[in-house]
C-alpha cells in the first residue's frame, strides 16, 4: 500500500467536566490526530499524549515533532500494518506517537480490504461491558453524586482516582452508599511509595477489584514487594509500555492484572501481543483509556472485545467526556458499547464538527 501523505491535525475538545487525577487537572483534551491518505482510502489514528508530560514523558508537541521529523519520513514506500512497527523500531520510545501513526495506517489498510478492527484483532464479542473513571473531587458528597449518576447511566464498574489524602475515606463512602456488589477499583497514577504500604493495606477492607499503578512507573520491583503486603490485586498501567515489560512484571510478581492502553504501548498490534501474553499466563487484562474521542474509542472498543479482556474497561460513552464527539457518539446500551463492524475503525469524523474543533493542520507529502 502506498501512502501519499499524512495530515497532522490538532484539535481542542472541551471536557464536560474537569478531570482531576493525582498528576493534574484536565479541562480540555488537546488531541493530535494523524490521517494517512492512500489512493484508495484514508485512515485515522488518535495520539493519546497529553499537553504536558505528567502522566508519561510524552506530550503533544513532542509527539508532533517526532512524527514529522523522524517517524513519518521513515515509512517504507510500500507499507502495510505490520511494516510500520518495524520501520519505526530504530527510534527509541515515543510509543504514543508511533501508535497514532500505526493506527492511521492500519485503519487505511483495513478500510481498503473492508475488514473491521474487531475482526482483524480477533474480537470474540459484539459488545463490551463499560466502566467509568471518576476523577478526584472537592468533597465526598460531590463524589457520591457523580458515582450515582454513572450507575444510573448503566456503568457496570466504577474506578475512583485516588491520591494521598483522597483514598480510604472516598472508597469507604462509595462502598457504604452503593453496597458490596458494586464492582469498584482505584487508580493512584503512581502517587505513592513503598513507605505507604501500611496505609494502602487499609484499602484491603473494601473488596476492591484492583489498585491501579500505586507506585512509580519504573518501580516494578517495589510493586512486587507491595503485592506481598496487600490482598487487593495490583494492576499496572504506566509501568507497562510493551509486551517485554508485561513479561517482566508477570515474572517478578509485580501485578496480577494489566491495564492495556493501546495508545500508550505503541499501538493495537503490541496491545494484542500483551493480551496474548497475559492470557497465556492467566493474567486478567482490561482496556484503559486516555479520554479518547470517538476515533480512538472505536478501536479501543474493538480491542476490548478480545477474549482475554475479562474485566470491564475505561471504555465509556462519548457523553462522559464530550458534549459533542467528533464521530457519531458512542452511547451506552445496558452498560455496554457495541463493537463497530464497518471497515477499519467503522466510524468517521463528522466534517463540520471536526472543522469546528480544529486548531491547526499540517500536510506532509510522502
Q: Residue numbers of the site for ligand OSB (CB under 6 A)? A: 55, 133, 187, 189, 237, 288-291, 314, 316
- Which residues in this chain contact Mg ion in the complex, by CB under 5 A? 187, 212, 237
Q: Which C-beta is closer to ligand OSB: that of 243 or that of 301? A: 301
User: Active site residue: 2, 92, 98, 161, which one?
Assistant: 161
Query: Which DSSP symbol is given to 116?
Result: B
Cβ contact 212:187 at 8 Å: yes
* 261 catalytic residue (yes or no): yes
C-alpha distance across the termini of the chain, in Å: 13
Q: What angle do CA 90, 34, 22 make, to 5 degrees?
A: 80
Pick from Mg ion, ligand OSB, none: which does 256 bind, CB < 5 to 8 A by kind? none
CB of 161 to Mg ion, least distance (A): 8
Q: What is the bridge-based pairing of β-strands 257-260 and 284-287?
A: parallel
User: ∠ CA 52-54-59 to the nearest 5 degrees?
Assistant: 35
Catalytic residue (choose from 2, 92, 159, 261)? 261
Residue, CB closest to Mg ion: 237
Considering beta carbons, is residue 104 or 191 the nearer one to Mg ion?
Answer: 191
In terms of CB distance, is 85 or 263 closer to ligand OSB?
Answer: 263
**Rounded to the nearest 5 degrees, what angle is found at the Cα of 275, between the Cα atoms of 293 and 70?**
60
Closer Cβ to ligand OSB, 42 or 314, answer by number: 314
Picked from ligand OSB, Mg ion, none, the partner binding residue 290 (CB below 5 to 8 A depending on kind) is ligand OSB
Question: What's the closest the beta carbon of residue 129 comes to ligand OSB, in angstroms?
Answer: 14
- Which of the choices ligand OSB, Mg ion, none does residue 133 contact, using the CB cut-off of 5 to 8 A by kind? ligand OSB
* Residue 219 interacts with which of Mg ion, ligand OSB, none, CB < 5 to 8 Å by class: none
Minimum Å gap between C-beta 237 and Mg ion is: 4
With both helix axes pointing from N to C terminus, report the angle between 95-113 and 81-88 in degrees, rounded to the nearest 10. Answer: 160
> For the residues of 295-358, what is the DSSP string, one character each?
HHHHHHHHHHTSTTB-S-BS---GGGT-SS-SSSPP--BTTEEEPP-SSBTS----HHHHHHHE
Active site residues: 161, 261
Amino acid at each position: 500500500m502506498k501512502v501519499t501523505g499524512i495530515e497532522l491535525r490538532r484539535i481542542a475538545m472541551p471536557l464536560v467536566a474537569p478531570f482531576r487525577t493525582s498528576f493534574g487537572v484536565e479541562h480540555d483534551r488537546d488531541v493530535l490526530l494523524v490521517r494517512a491518505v492512500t489512493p484508495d482510502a484514508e485512515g485515522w489514528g488518535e495520539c493519546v499524549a497529553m499537553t504536558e508530560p505528567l502522566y508519561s514523558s510524552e506530550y503533544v508537541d513532542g509527539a508532533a515533532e517526532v512524527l514529522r521529523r523522524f517517524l513519518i519520513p521513515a515509512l517504507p514506500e510500500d507499507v502495510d500494518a505490520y511494516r510500520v512497527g518495524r520501520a519505526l523500531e530504530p527510534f527509541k520510545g515515543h510509543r504514543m506517537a508511533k501508535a497514532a501513526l500505526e493506527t492511521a495506517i492500519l485503519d487505511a489498510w483495513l478500510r481498503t480490504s473492508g475488514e473491521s478492527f474487531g475482526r482483524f484483532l480477533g474480537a470474540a464479542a459484539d459488545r463490551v461491558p463499560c466502566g467509568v473513571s471518576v476523577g478526584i473531587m472537592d468533597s465526598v458528597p460531590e463524589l457520591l453524586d457523580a458515582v450515582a449518576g454513572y450507575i444510573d447511566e448503566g456503568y457496570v464498574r466504577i474506578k475512583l482516582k485516588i491520591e494521598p489524602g483522597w483514598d480510604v475515606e472516598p472508597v469507604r463512602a462509595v462502598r457504604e452508599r452503593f453496597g458490596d456488589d458494586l464492582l469498584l477499583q482505584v487508580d493512584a497514577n503512581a502517587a505513592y511509595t513503598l513507605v505507604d504500604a501500611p496505609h494502602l493495606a487499609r484499602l484491603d477492607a473494601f473488596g476492591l477489584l484492583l489498585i491501579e499503578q500505586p507506585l512509580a512507573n519504573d518501580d516494578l520491583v517495589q510493586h512486587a514487594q507491595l503485592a506481598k503486603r496487600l490482598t487487593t490485586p495490583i494492576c499496572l498501567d504506566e509501568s507497562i509500555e510493551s509486551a517485554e515489560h508485561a513479561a517482566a512484571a508477570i515474572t517478578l510478581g509485580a501485578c496480577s492484572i494489566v491495564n492495556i492502553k493501546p495508545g500508550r504501548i505503541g499501538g493495537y498490534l503490541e496491545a494484542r501481543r500483551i493480551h496474548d501474553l497475559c492470557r497465556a499466563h492467566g493474567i486478567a487484562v482490561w482496556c484503559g483509556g486516555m479520554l479518547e474521542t470517538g476515533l480512538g474509542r472505536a478501536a479501543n472498543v474493538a480491542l476490548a472485545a478480545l477474549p482475554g479482556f475479562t474485566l470491564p474497561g475505561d471504555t465509556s460513552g462519548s457523553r462522559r467526556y464530550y458534549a459533542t464527539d467528533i464521530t457519531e457518539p458512542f452511547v451506552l446500551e445496558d452498560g455496554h458499547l457495541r463493537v463497530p463492524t464497518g471497515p477499519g475503525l467503522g466510524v468517521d469524523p463528522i466534517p463540520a464538527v471536526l472543522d469546528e474543533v480544529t486548531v491547526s493542520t499540517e500536510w506532509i507529502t510522502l
